[in-house]
Amino acid sequence: MRERNHSAPPPRRIQRASRRRVNLAALTLLLAAPILLAGCGGDHSILNPAGPAARDIRLIWFVMLGFGTVVFVVVIALWLYTFKKRYVTRTPAQERRIGRRWIIGGGIILPTLTVIALLMFGVPTGKRMLTLPLDEPPEVIEVIGHQWWWEVRYPGAEGGEVVTANQLMMPAGEPVDFHVTAADVIHGFWIPRLGGKIDMLPGRINRIRLEADEPGVFGAQCAELCGVGHAHMKLHVEALPRAEFDAWLAARSDEALAELAAQNAAFDTARDNFTRFCSGCHQVAGISASNIGPNLSDVGGREALGAGVMAMEEGAVYQWLRNHQTLKPSNLMPRHDDLDNETLRDLGAWLETLTP
Ligand code: HEC
Ligand SMILES: [Cu+2]
């Protein structure tokens, strides 16, 4: 076998070429950095926390990253060291002893210590997100995932349970317990700036405690692939000062919403048409009680339609009614090709007046 000489330096030309490659790689990384780092901020970033649970998660993330970096550097250093090392001849017994040392030390003791250290840090941190009893029971909000929209219920509201859809209002500055489940397939509840993700499973209620430090709007998006509409399943999350939150709930009591739905005689035809064509799937307080589709009792006051596919503005409901299969392909609301534009415009105009 031919002996290869490891110690002779490579020819100059190759040295220069490889230095150029390294420079090019460094330059590419530098130029790509803003794009890569852009993911660290914004509405859906765990590195931009807005509550205690999310801060804990960021801390765990940084500790894991630091730990991983140390392990990476040590492994690379050992690897480089093997190139430098002069070869010595050992007896098979010596080889076995050294090999055993690596397996026991590096393969058993080191990982065990590492995992214990990370668990000692991670378990108490994670515990703070559990819905353990508090002196003052927190607000409970139930969130139910549907293909491809969100049902949100407030069982503790003073004027009786409040039900809405595709928007989640919560009080700021206090813990809130979320009880989440799904009506059909698995969905994922995740408000990255407030805390961890939790699965929404049919037939099971999962609980998570989250808190928003300050009033504000937070992005959320279904975090578990749930079918063709999955990417179109956004949730508008907004934390309000306690008093505003209470007022928001009060405006959505059954009586208040039923009164809103009944007003303005000009919309009598729209109400009739709603009862004929829509009430089998949708609830409007005082008219119908189905929840196959989103509750529409307060639809005029929402930020968006179709779980975030279009902004709520004048004429938006009509646009939804006419074009929803284009705006949100394969969503589970049937087309209403049998209804003429006039009928749908009238229905849309009435629904837009439902702004508590
Ligand atoms: C077979 C059940 C069904 C019928 C009938 C039905 N819808 Fe829907 N509707 C749905 C479902 C399901 C959604 C949710 C679609 C999505 O976002 O994925 C929806 C969504 C909507 C939305 C958007 C709500 C939101 O919060 O984004 C509006 C508005 C709406 N429907 C109005 C109507 C009107 C008006 C009628 C009658 C002309 C009607 N629907 C008939 C099932 C139905
Ligand atoms: Cu989903």
pLDDT in tens, 49-73: 999 889 988 988 898 899 899 989 9
State the pLDDT at residue 3: 47
- Mean pLDDT of the 101-114 span: 91
Question: How many percent of the chain have pLDDT more than 90?
Answer: 68
Number of Cα atoms under 13 Å in the Cβ half of residue 115: 6
**Residue whose entry in the numeric block shows the structure tokens 């139930």:** 142
Taking the C-alpha atoms of 278, 283, 285 and 286 in order, what is their torsion angle to the nearest 10 degrees?
A: 50
Listed in sequence order, the residues at least 6 apart from 30 whose beta carbon sits closer than 8 Å to its beta carbon are: none
On whether the CB atoms of residues 281 and 332 are closer than 8 A, the answer is no
CA of 183 to the centre of ligand 1 (A): 16
Ligand 1, atom nearest to 278 Cα: 37
List, for residues 239-276, the tens digit of each pLDDT value.
999 999 999 999 999 999 999 999 999 999 999 999 99
CA of 201 to the centre of ligand 1 (A): 23
Q: How confident is the model at residue 293 (pLDDT cuts 50, 70, 90)?
A: very high
CA of 256 to the centre of ligand 2 (A): 31
CA of 282 to the centre of ligand 1 (A): 7
Mean predicted lDDT score pLDDT of the chain: 90
Q: How confident is the model at residue 129 (pLDDT cuts 50, 70, 90)?
A: confident
Residues with CB under 6 A from ligand 1: 148-149, 165-166, 229, 277-278, 280-282, 292-294, 296, 299, 302, 305-307, 317, 320-321, 328, 331-334, 336, 347, 351
State the pLDDT at residue 117: 87
Listed in sequence order, the residues at least 6 apart from 306 whose beta carbon sits closer than 8 Å to its beta carbon are: 149, 166, 232, 320, 324, 327, 328, 331
Which secondary structure element, helix H or strand E, spans residue 1, and what is its range?
Answer: none
Backbone angles phi, psi at 58, to 5 degrees: -65, -40
State the pLDDT at residue 162: 96
Give the β-pairing of 167-171 and 288-289: unpaired
State the pLDDT at residue 10: 56
The number of the ligand nearest the C-alpha atom of 148 reads 1
Token duo for residue 218: 């937070």
- Mean pLDDT of the 273-294 span: 95
State the pLDDT at residue 15: 60
Domains in the chain with CATH codes: 43-87+129-238 (2.60.40.420), 254-352 (2.60.40.420)
State the pLDDT at residue 1: 43
